[in-house]
Amino acid sequence: MKPPRDRAYERLIALAKEARQSDLRLNPTSELDWKFAVAVSKLNRHPMSWLLRWAGMTERKPWWDRPLLVGAALMFTTITFALMWFAEVGSGSRLGWIAFGVGYIGMLLLLYFASRHIEEWQLKHTIEKCRSNSGFAGQQS
């Protein structure tokens, strides 16, 4: 059985794709404007960012984004094992397991907020880059 389709939304996505393609055909330099729109809508967590992403317009990730993700995964794994070992060394006491739980939750929160901060910094950097390349560096949004 196929999942139900939202034809109106699919048409909206197709319209967004066609609008971008048409804009780029008429003015090839407008790619910078589309990158700017994607970055601003995503930074402000606007619902339009979903439409732009589903229409195939995404921001470009820096080269160091993937190694940073691998490093975060390694840090997560290492700290998880270290916390588990610490909890076991405490001979399974409640205090050891409480410390494990608090440390684990703290680590998850740290990774979450650090990733949000890095993503926000990347988007702001992209916005400033688009502004400086388009000649709108003096304008504030």
The pLDDT tens digits for 13-56 are: 888 888 888 888 898 888 888 888 888 998 998 888 888 887 77
Do 74 and 114 fall into the same domain? yes
Do 1 and 44 fall into the same domain? yes
- Band of residue 109 on the pLDDT scale cut at 50, 70, 90: very high
Q: Compute the average pLDDT of residues 89-102.
A: 74
Using only C-alpha atoms, the chain has a radius of gyration, in whole angstroms, of: 22
Q: Report how far apart, in Å, the C-alpha atoms of 18 and of each of 6, 40, 46 are.
A: 18, 21, 21
Do 87 and 119 fall into the same domain? yes
Please answer whether residues 34 and 57 qualify as being in contact, where contact means their C-beta atoms are separated by less than 8 angstroms.
yes
Tokens of 3: 């999942």
How far apart CA 63 and CA 12 sit, in angstroms, is: 32
Q: Compute the average pLDDT of residues 78-100.
A: 75
Give the distance from CA 68 to its chain's centroid. 13
Do 125 and 141 fall into the same domain? yes
pTM for this model (two decimals): 0.68
Which structural domain range is residue 117 located in? 61-141
